[in-house]
Structure 1
Amino acid sequence: MRVFLQEWKKIWRPGILVALLVSGLAYFYLFSNFYIEYFCNGPTAQAEFDLASEWVETYGPTMEPEERQALDQQLEEEKATFAQEIADYGPAAALGITTYDAFAAYQQAYYTAVQEQDGEADMETEQFLHKMMDNTNYYRITELENYLSAYDGKADTPWSQQEGFLSYTGEEQAQIQRLEDGSRGFLPDAVQFSTINYAKHLAIWSVLSVVLLLSPTFVRDRLYHTRAVQWSSRTGRRVWKVQLAAGLCGAVVLTLCNVVLYAIPFVGKGPLRFWDCPLFHWCRDDYTWFDGTYGQYLLVLVGMVLLLGVAAGGMTMFLSQYSGQYVAMLLKAIPLFLVVGVLAGGFLLNRPYYFRTIYLGDQAVPVPPGGEAILLGSLILLSVVLLFWACRRQNRREL
């Protein structure tokens, strides 16, 4: 244990910790912070988020047919609120707009006229429309209307007759119908989009931070000829295995710290209220290969980030032992980060376990069910094999 703690101190040096902190802050504000600052990007996304938050509190994580009927009353109440909000607005009254339906009709007539006039818009009318939309509950009403229209359309139309259903493979169609037989969820698109992209940047940073932390591990020993002293006895030779254990533990601890630090601003945006909501959105055409909840999906994403960090740690230590100076290790660390972090991490955390395709040239190739788990498992296996081979090679070396 004493040797482990000594190796642990060699990894967690103050200089590298400062470098990680500065680099982490820069990376967060350059890439990740966008998905926090614009968690619900736009008034439509914000309206969907607000409505879904209210429905979770009122109806629970799903919207069943008997609960859907109450939304008609909510729509009428929202329209009544709209009428109250424009009651004292002079330009609207002058045009005879006293209700939401009147405003929608005026808006539709204007856009139709613009199309007939080859897209030439009237700026005063445009300003009037946007002022009406931005200062009323217009977006809540339109989002609610869209949801009710899509909900009823899905309920009244068999899957075999729904647009786009036949474009899926037989396996995908069967999965869609299995999901449809379950709960009718309404998880907002903005939550899914921000969660997945935020997790993707977390994965990339976790790989980069692990590579930065562990790259000097064996290089420093070679520079100070520490290995030669250790090889002078069989007991000292076993230190290398302790270093591997300390390095892998360091990769786990650093990745967990990244997850916790990233979770603080993310949780502050309020997505955990949808923890029990199913990923399957009754009114959207975006499906997963497994029937889970948003909370379960978050745990899966955290697990993927953690395993990717461990795989990167193992590969970094393997490459580090073959570098006699820091420049040489840097030349190995950059390709490692690009392959494991940017390419593999970007692919793994890009809507994992959803129906999706990758493009090989002009050829679209569907990602098979569980393809992400296969790739992640392969990276872990490769890391283990490389470290196991390195251990055998060390044991066979002459003193």
Structure 2
Amino acid sequence: MILMELKKILNIKILFLLFIFSFIFYFLFIKFNIEYFPNGRPANDEYRILNEMKHSFGKTIDESEYEAFKKSYDERILEANKYLQSKEETVNLGITTYSDLVQRDDENERLNNLRYKIFHEEGVNVFWEIQAQNNMLESYNYKDDQNYNSKDFFVTKDMKDRLGEISNNGSYFSSLIFDNYNELIKYTVFLIILSIAIMISPLFIKDRQNKLVYLQYSSKIGRDLFKKKLLGALIASFLLMTIQFTAFFILYSTNGTHIFSDMNVSSFYNEFTSWFDLTFGEYIILTVAAAYLLGLIFTVITAFLSSIVPNYLTIIGIQVPIMFVTFTYVLKYLIERLTDITLPSYFLYISYTILVFVILSMIVIRWKKEKRIDILY
């Protein structure tokens, strides 16, 4: 019976519709952050330097390695100075050092044109690399500052202790990589939830429109069909999520960020701070596990709605605000900000416990009603 329900759910028309929908969604919301990563400058230069650091220093950086990194920064400054001193145009303007180029009066039109020419028209790598390194050096120098930017008005003792641990862990994992992954996983999970809504919505509505409920409710086996249909829906959703996640990670692997998978995501160079010592690889596993749980939860919600609404128009009308809340709040707090230090350390456990409890309650309530529902329903 469950296999038959699976065949009904995963029919050719639905699978074709999901393929077309996923293809369009990918090009609209996901492709850009995969194909154009890192995007622009100095992001490209920062990513190149991060790769160099990973191969040279490993997953953490200590004081001696910091000095080596600072020395390479000073060498790039000298290289930039030589470049400027070799150009007649810059010498005539009195620009012979990198500091002259970036710190002189911005109201000087000739100087602004010169900056634009060096950075954008000629695209001299060393000038962009200096910017990228300077950002990292400044972040490292302020790593012991536990004011947590402008948010210190709600910083608790536990948060300060955690920030102190992070300042000493030596990780230099970057927001550039973390934010890119978070943006991608958010849209991927939303695609999965929308796909589940499309696939599961006909679960009970189709039977009701085909008048099959009269046969189902007239027998004990038919009344037991609710559980089997729900189980079939959960299995179908699990298969769908697995396929979509597999496709996503095949595409995401082309970004080459796997070399950072053993680095702690909580670092002096990442704005995100976790309550736990999670590596990037562990964070990915955690988000995927949370996404699977969310997907199964939305499967039950969609199946429940399908069992009580009279037609497709009604279920679409109900799902629109649900999807809005999901994208605006649910994904923000239960996917993007998993274990975020700005949220209580128990937030993750309580949120998912409440969701699972509500879903189980919906199943029990509906199952009890299925057993005693009138045949004229």
Q: Do the structures match in fold with TM over 0.5?
A: yes
Aligned partners of 1:224 and 1:5: how far apart in 2?
Answer: 20
Percent identical pairs in the alignment equals: 22
Alpha-carbon distance change, 144 to 339 in structure 1, aligned in 2, over 3 angstroms: closer
Q: How does 1:177-192 map to 2 (within 5 A)?
A: 177-181=164-168, 183-192=169-178
Aligned to 2:357: 381
Counterpart check, 1:173 vs 2:153:
no
CA distance in 2, matches of 1:127, 1:325: 60
What is the distance in 1 between the residues matched to 2:54 and 2:27? 32
Tell me the distance in 2 between the aligned counterparts of 1:355 and 1:42: 30
**Which secondary structure state, in structure 2, belongs to the residue aligned with residue 369 of structure 1?**
coil
How far residue 277 of structure 1 moved from its aligned partner, in angstroms, is 0.6
Other-structure match for 1:220 = 206
Give, in angstroms, the shift of residue 79 of structure 1.
4.0
Amino acid at match of 1:382: V
Letter in 2 for 1:378: I
2:214 and 2:4 map into 1 onto residues whose CA distance is: 18
Could you say what secondary structure the match of 2:42 adopts?
helix
Gaps of 5+ in 1: 357-366
Residues 246, 341 of structure 1: alpha-carbon distance in 2 compared, 3 angstrom cutoff: farther
Report what 1:362 is aligned to.
none
Offset, 1:320 = 0.4
Deviations 1:285-307 (A, max 9, x none): 54222221111111111111111
Q: Distance in 1 between matches of 2:116 and 2:192?
A: 45
* CA displacement at 1:228 relative to structure 2: 2.0
Aligned length: 374
Q: 2:137 matched to 1:148? A: yes
Query: Do the aligned partners of 2:61 and 2:172 also contact (CA within 8 Å) in 1?
Result: yes
**Counterpart-to-counterpart distance in 2, 1:85 and 1:222:** 76
The question of whether the paired residues in 2 share the 8 Å contact of 1:48 and 1:188 is answered with no
Cα distance in 1, alignment partners of residues 189 and 113 from structure 2: 47
1:312 to 293, 298, 305: 298
Query: How far did 1:338 drift?
Result: 2.9
1:194 is aligned with what amino acid? N
Q: 2: distance between equivalents of 1:230 and 1:260?
A: 37
Asked whether the 8 Å contact 2:162–2:275 carries over to 1, the reply is yes
1:75 shift after superposition: 2.4
Match of 2:187 in 1: 201
Q: Match of 2:278, SS?
A: coil
Which segment drifts farther, 340-349 or 217-226? 340-349
Counterpart in the other structure of 1:104:
99
Alpha-carbon distance in structure 1 between the residues aligned to 2:197 and 2:151: 44
> Contact conserved, 2:265 with 2:274, CA < 8 A, in 1?
yes
For 1:339 and 1:90, locate their aligned partners in 2 and report how far apart those are by CA, in whole Å.
59
Choose from 220, 233, 243 the match for 2:229: 243
Structure 1 contact 59–67 (Cα < 8 Å) conserved: yes
Name the SS for the 1:288 alignment partner: coil
Q: After TM superposition, list the pairs within 5 Å mapping 1:1-399 onto structure 2.
A: 3-79=1-77, 81-82=79-80, 91-92=89-90, 102-111=97-106, 114=107, 124-131=113-120, 134-154=123-143, 159=146, 166-167=152-153, 168-181=155-168, 183-283=169-269, 286-356=272-342, 367-397=343-373
Q: Distance in 2 between matches of 1:257 and 1:218?
A: 24
Q: Distance in 2 between matches of 1:108 and 1:171?
A: 40
Rounded Cα–Cα distance in structure 1 between residues aligned with 2:53 and 2:225: 58
Q: Given the superposition, is the C-alpha separation of residues 80 and 132 from structure 1 closer, same or farther in structure 2, using an over 3 Å criterion? A: farther
| Structure 2 contact 175–272 (Cα < 8 Å) conserved | no
TM-score by length of 2: 0.88
- In 2: Cα distance, 1:258 partner to 1:203 partner: 9
Q: How far, CA to CA, are the matches of 1:166 and 1:325 in structure 2?
A: 51
| 1:78/1:141 contact within 8 Å kept | yes
Deviations 1:369-388 (A, max 9, x none): 24244223322322221112
Distance in 2 between residues matched to 1:66 and 1:301, nearest whole Å: 35
Aligned CA distance change for structure 1 residues 150 and 220 (closer, same or farther; 3 Å): closer
Deviation of residue 195 (structure 1)?
1.0
Q: 1:394 to 1:153 in 2, by over 3 A?
A: closer
- Give TM-score scaled by structure 1 length: 0.84
Letter in 1 for 2:35: E
SS in 2 for 1:35: helix
Deviation at 1:321, TM superposition (A): 0.9
Instruction: Answer yes or no: is the 8 Å Cα contact 2:80–2:98 preserved in 1.
Output: no
